[in-house]
Amino acid sequence: MNFHSYADILFVEISVFSALLFAYLLYNNIFLYKTSIKDKLSILLMAGLVETISDGIWQFVDGAPGASAWNFAAACGSTISMAVLTSTLTMISLDCFRLQFKSRVPYILLYVLPLAAIAVMGLTTPWTELVFYIGENWVMEYGALYSYAMMP
């Protein structure tokens, strides 16, 4: 085995461990502390869980012949959940510093529109090839807008 094989195995193992940790924290948050599933911390934990699972699947199936649907699903899940994760973390940070906007317009401009744009880019990328696409040898190739979609 070469370095890349070990790195792939380690990445998948870290993703599995992270998914188990997020699931445990989400379970504690909902059932032990009796918080709502719509709570910001619960949304953060669910987005982290989806991120780690889809990222692990993406790493595991990348380059496998015939796994393009899994590859796209994992890449879309990873992209959209990363956007939800970062925006929810930003909302929690604003709450911790007790910073609030007077109207809904900044929330829409800062959270709703970027999340909608990232979701549309992630879901339409099989046809537009803007974010990622399946190249030769069934390997995921990155499109022109990949770095913008992954870092909201």
What pLDDT, on a 0 to 100 scale, did the predictor assign at position 103?
83
What pLDDT, on a 0 to 100 scale, did the predictor assign at position 123?
80
What pLDDT, on a 0 to 100 scale, did the predictor assign at position 8?
74
Instruction: Identify whether the C-beta of residue 42 lies closer than 8 Å to the C-beta of residue 30.
Output: yes
Q: pTM score, two decimals?
A: 0.71
What pLDDT, on a 0 to 100 scale, did the predictor assign at position 36?
86
Which string of b and e fits 100-127 if b means at least 16 CB within 10 Å?
Answer: eeeeeeeeeeebeeebeebbebbeebbe
Read off the amino acid at residue 31: F
What pLDDT, on a 0 to 100 scale, did the predictor assign at position 142?
80
Across the chain, which has 152 residues, the per-10-residue mean pLDDT values are 75 83 88 84 87 82 72 80 81 81 81 81 81 74 74 54
